[in-house]
Chains A and B, each alone.
Chain A
């Protein structure tokens, strides 16, 4: 049976939200992202695109390209609130949908044609979202996720596109290979070096040639170029790891500051674990030096979610990892191998007082926010990313250019 997969994408989502909140921003060039010298552009309005600005670009460079653009720091909380509003409307319309990121949705409309017509239904949904939230949204409708996504990209801004059954290859053929999801700068260069520019050329190539050039990914890219994709619409997004990292405005060599930051991050992530009733069995520390060399080290540990076990282990990893006398640009931690469960109390190492203290602290955090109580050594490190419950089945809020 052929499927009808709908891909919805909110146009320049962060910018649209800012415009909704402040109508003076309508029609003006806007950049959303980190404002410091190290910040990057998370979203940019269509007005700025003419200057050659794209998301993921350093803010400093964007500023030079378009000095009169309005720059906004942005607020992840506001964005996810607006994203949730859209989710609510979609949820009402479609039972089977996947929220693949903060501003993108896939919905499975298979079988709708018999009653109503998928395209008509999708158009209504789009109009309703625009009417109720005031946010521009585009969609693509096709037989699978890949073609729908590419169609949305072609429909933008604020429009819709339907690829009729059987015309997927014809639709893809004249497009640049860059439009295939998964083809980034590197792969694009490799393919260009082979003399490939249009998707149509890839379609005519034998699959094994692509495989020889790009390995496993080659097969996937070839299939995508031919409009073949069988990935299902998955309604629930399961967290495999949680992490936190920070790039400094100014590279630092202050070890006490670094350690304090690591403690703050660990404390925060451990709280997220406990709140989500999860345990971790693998912890990692990442360092990027000022010369952009990045090192990371990980360690298996018994399943835990307790601060007093995780913090010393993280610091121990940091101690072995930080061995170059260089300025540090970025530091981060990651907990993976997550399973659901609660901390198993140790007979000899855990005292009742400590356990009660943890419970009381978590209680305060649940009520007044995750930064309301912190260790003294982690105090003042309020610049670590604020994280919303990472285990609610929703995708993490990531910058557009970091999306996979």
Chain B
């Protein structure tokens, strides 16, 4: 088995795939890239058993063969090369020899047959979506997903496809983001929960991408195909909580304010809040928003007044400032509106401008129970 490939081209592809590989693996074979050569096509795969990603590279060769090459060693070597052709030759003594302009390097390889096979999806349904839209959808939602191992369903992003729209939801039970696109749709109704890791990989690769992504899915797995890359992952098993039921329908109190101004005030005030609970207090009366925080243990206190547009009753509500800053940071609009009903019910944050046609973002943040 022998092939010639450009060093930077190979490095670029391997760095993307390398994101799949865990730092510590129970199965040693998973520390490798799988190289599957068929004449001019080299398919490189990486896997952590849950997620498998593979890319097809064009190389110069007339051989065939399958080997598993140590990932970390190969990546470290490739990083140091300036652009040049590299020749990979598989020797008899279980090593693969790489020849560069500078010299020769031999790596021990493992048998490609040991590498776990990616699952084949049985009777998948499929949807096509523009890469950039998918990346945006992930970006808007993933930060709200939880980290609780005890509630695995909340550690992923809920994909809800229907002929009318595509909906992406993430929540950790304290905050929730719902991102909906009405300009794209699926042929039939489908729902599944995607784990965070493959989504983070996709987000990185697909940002700004103009190519179409084909999403195939069944009950247990999902496959994302785009350009020369495929990503197959296992879905999170379980029933996603009924999030629609917890979004308050009637919110008579509505606050509209400049996002940047709100964000920087919350950030500043929260420096003075308790370092564990990050609790801040919003007092809204008339057209004035009062943001305050205090850390009793250190006698730190801060208070800011902002002018805002407000319709509704005067109210006082407490939030974890981390949630607010994360959400406000994630939005890009100039203005946001915060809809509220009662101090113990969710606040709904929505951008007032800057959205595409058919794009909807709803962010929910649960307050803390202030002593009245």
Q: Residues of A at under 8 Å CB distance from B?
A: 238, 274-275, 277, 279, 303, 339-349, 352, 355-356, 358-359, 362-363
B246 touching A342, Cβ below 8 Å: no
* B279 sits at the interface (CB 8 A): yes
Q: In the complex, which residues of chain B have a beta carbon less than 8 angstroms from the beta carbon of A362?
A: 371
B364 touching A347, Cβ below 8 Å: yes
Please name the residue on chain A nearest to B320 by beta carbon.
A344
* Given contact pairs A347-B364, A349-B173, A341 touches B274 in the complex (Cβ within 8 A): yes
A342 touching B279, Cβ below 8 Å: yes
* B339 sits at the interface (CB 8 A): no
* B345 sits at the interface (CB 8 A): yes
B369 touching A355, Cβ below 8 Å: yes
A340 to B176, CA, bound (A): 25
B277: contacting residue among A274, A339, A355, A359, CB under 8 A: A339
| Majority SS at the chain A contact face | mixed
Please name the residue on chain A nearest to B276 by beta carbon.
A339
B366: contacting residue among A340, A344, A358, CB under 8 A: A344
The winner among A277, A344, A347, A348 for most chain B CB atoms within 10 A is A347
Chain B 271-309 against A: per-residue CB contact (8 Å), 1 yes, 0 no?
000101101000000000000000111000000000000
Q: How far is the CB of A336 from chain B (nearest CB, A)?
A: 14
Q: In the complex, which residues of chain A have a beta carbon less than 8 angstroms from the beta carbon of B371?
A: 274-275, 277, 342, 362
* B241 sits at the interface (CB 8 A): yes
Can you list 21 A-B pairs with a CB-CB distance of less than 8 A? A274-B369, A279-B277, A339-B276, A340-B274, A340-B295, A340-B297, A341-B276, A341-B279, A344-B174, A344-B366, A344-B368, A345-B367, A346-B173, A347-B176, A347-B346, A348-B173, A348-B241, A349-B173, A359-B369, A362-B371, A363-B372
Q: In the complex, which residues of chain B have a beta carbon less than 8 angstroms from the beta carbon of A274?
A: 369, 371
B372 touching A359, Cβ below 8 Å: yes
Q: How far is the CB of A235 from chain B (nearest CB, A)?
A: 12
B277 touching A347, Cβ below 8 Å: no
A346 touching B274, Cβ below 8 Å: no
Q: In the complex, which residues of chain B have a beta carbon less than 8 angstroms from the beta carbon of A342?
A: 277, 279, 318, 368-371
Q: In the complex, which residues of chain A have a beta carbon less than 8 angstroms from the beta carbon of B346?
A: 347
A344 to B172, CA, bound (A): 12
A-B contact sample (7 more), CB < 8 A, given A347-B246, A359-B344: A238-B297, A341-B279, A341-B368, A344-B277, A344-B320, A345-B367, A347-B243
Which B residues, 219 to 238, have Cβ-Cβ distances below 8 Å to chain A? none
A349 to B154, CA, bound (A): 13
Number of residue pairs A-B, CB distance < 8 angstroms: 70
B344 touching A340, Cβ below 8 Å: no
B174 touching A347, Cβ below 8 Å: yes
A343 touching B369, Cβ below 8 Å: yes
Q: How far is the CB of B324 from chain A (nearest CB, A)?
A: 13
Q: How far is the CB of B256 from chain A (nearest CB, A)?
A: 24
* B51 sits at the interface (CB 8 A): no
Q: In the complex, which residues of chain B have a beta carbon less than 8 angstroms from the beta carbon of A341?
A: 274, 276-277, 279, 368
Chain B 329-347 against A: per-residue CB contact (8 Å), 1 yes, 0 no?
0000000000000101110
Please name the residue on chain A nearest to B176 by beta carbon.
A347
A346 touching B174, Cβ below 8 Å: yes
Which B residues, 135 to 161, have Cβ-Cβ distances below 8 Å to chain A? none
* B171 sits at the interface (CB 8 A): yes
Which B residues, 64 to 123, have Cβ-Cβ distances below 8 Å to chain A? none
A349 to B241, CA, bound (A): 10
Which B residues, 160 to 182, have Cβ-Cβ distances below 8 Å to chain A? 171, 173-174, 176
A345 touching B246, Cβ below 8 Å: no
B345 touching A340, Cβ below 8 Å: no
Q: How far is the CB of B357 from chain A (nearest CB, A)?
A: 30
Q: How far is the CB of A337 from chain B (nearest CB, A)?
A: 9
Please name the residue on chain B nearest to A345 by beta carbon.
B366
Which B residues, 350 to 372, have Cβ-Cβ distances below 8 Å to chain A? 364, 366-372
A10 to B345, CA, bound (A): 51
B345 touching A352, Cβ below 8 Å: yes
A342 to B296, CA, bound (A): 13
A345: contacting residue among B243, B296, B368, CB under 8 A: B368
A344 to B344, CA, bound (A): 10
Q: In the complex, which residues of chain A have a beta carbon less than 8 angstroms from the beta carbon of B246?
A: 347-348
Q: How far is the CB of B104 from chain A (nearest CB, A)?
A: 54
Please name the residue on chain A nearest to B346 by beta carbon.
A347
A341 to B188, CA, bound (A): 46
A375 to B171, CA, bound (A): 32
